[in-house]
Chains A and B, each alone.
Chain A
Amino acid sequence: MKRPFNPDKEVCDYCDHIMHAHIQVLRENKDERTWYWDYPAVAAVCHNDTCMAKRSSFSHYPSGGKWHGVLRAKLEEIAPIGQRLVGNCAEQHAANNYMNQLTEDDLGELYFSIARRPRTKEEIPYCNNCKRTFPNIH
């Protein structure tokens, strides 16, 4: 039977994955379309209230990809995606993955791990854009 996960353990494990992938990519000198050539500044996990479903992501510029309509509309109350750091955050990308892949339309059903810096696993405080966007980020 599936058991609830610990969101902080999940994001720490994700940071470990990023670190290992980063090292491999650098050593193998893969071409520039590879993720993790540079460490992302932040990683985060978005999950439901029971910690039974989750999606992860990392900070990156919002080029390509499809933004969930509800999330896009909320983000664009701040600024168009791509301006004023809107659409860059790990939390926003994780939420987008969650909403798109798990068919969730309610921002109030989204919960987040501590955001961490993949290189060091330091805690990174949530930014004001994310606090404005997600009801469960304060």
Chain B
Amino acid sequence: MLTHDIDWFCIVNGIYVHLASAGGILPLSFRDRDILRELQHNVAVAPYLFAEEDVVDNEAFLNQRFANNPKGRASYVVSFRDMARKGFVSMDRTNLLETNDNHYHIVSRPRLWNEHSIENIVIPEMPVGEKPELDFSPLGLLE
């Protein structure tokens, strides 16, 4: 896990969430390689539910992280916007330098993030007690 940047997926309080581990540790319930790989494949071949223009980015975070660096910002958001188009609130682990830090922030999400369902993919619910620190606060601010 520490050498890889793993895509993992869950449902948290009814929200479809994609998370990029960025060299961090996955919760115990999400470490089954066979289950995770099947899920990653199913998401990879899933159709887009939203157009590019229906995805919004976390402007507050991106302005702070990539002020005066539009090229850096453009490179950063690519994979997260792709996941958002597939229906996920797409999050990244915040502190890349500390592998034990499990805070995640939203990068991109569908504009209408709570009015759809993702069909034909079995996405696990986040078990109580294993939830990393997920900052959902922008979901209210980005409307």
Given contacts A26-B44, A119-B20, A122-B96, contact A88 B4 (CB under 8 A): no
Asked if A41 CB lies within 8 Å of chain B CBs, one says yes
Main secondary structure of the interface of B (DSSP, over half): mixed
Asked if A38 CB lies within 8 Å of chain B CBs, one says yes
Q: Smallest distance from the beta carbon of A89 to chain B beta carbons, Å? A: 8
Find residues 11-64 in chain B having any chain A CB closer than 8 Å to their own CB.
20, 22-23, 33, 37, 40-41, 44-45
Q: Which of B5, B76, B79 contacts A40 (CB 8 A)?
A: B5
Given contacts A27-B45, A41-B23, A119-B5, contact A32 B76 (CB under 8 A): no
Given contacts A23-B44, A125-B97, contact A119 B79 (CB under 8 A): yes
A120-B65 Cα distance, complex, nearest whole Å: 13
Please, how many residues of chain A have a CB less than 8 angstroms from a CB on the other chain? 25
A26-B96 Cα distance, complex, nearest whole Å: 24
A66-B22 Cα distance, complex, nearest whole Å: 27
- Give the contact-size bracket for chain B: 20 to 34
Contact B20 A38 (CB under 8 A): no
A59-B2 Cα distance, complex, nearest whole Å: 9
**Across-interface contacts of B92 in A (CB, < 8 A):** 120
Q: Smallest distance from the beta carbon of B39 to chain A beta carbons, Å? A: 11
Q: In this complex, which of B3, B22, B23 has the most chain A Cβ atoms within 10 angstroms of its Cβ?
A: B3
- For this complex, 14 residue pairs linking A to B, each with C-beta atoms less than 8 Å apart, are A19-B79, A27-B45, A32-B37, A37-B37, A37-B40, A38-B4, A40-B4, A41-B3, A41-B22, A42-B3, A118-B5, A120-B76, A120-B78, A122-B76
A interface list, Cβ under 8 A from B: 19, 23, 26-27, 29, 32, 37-42, 59-61, 85, 88, 117-122, 124-125
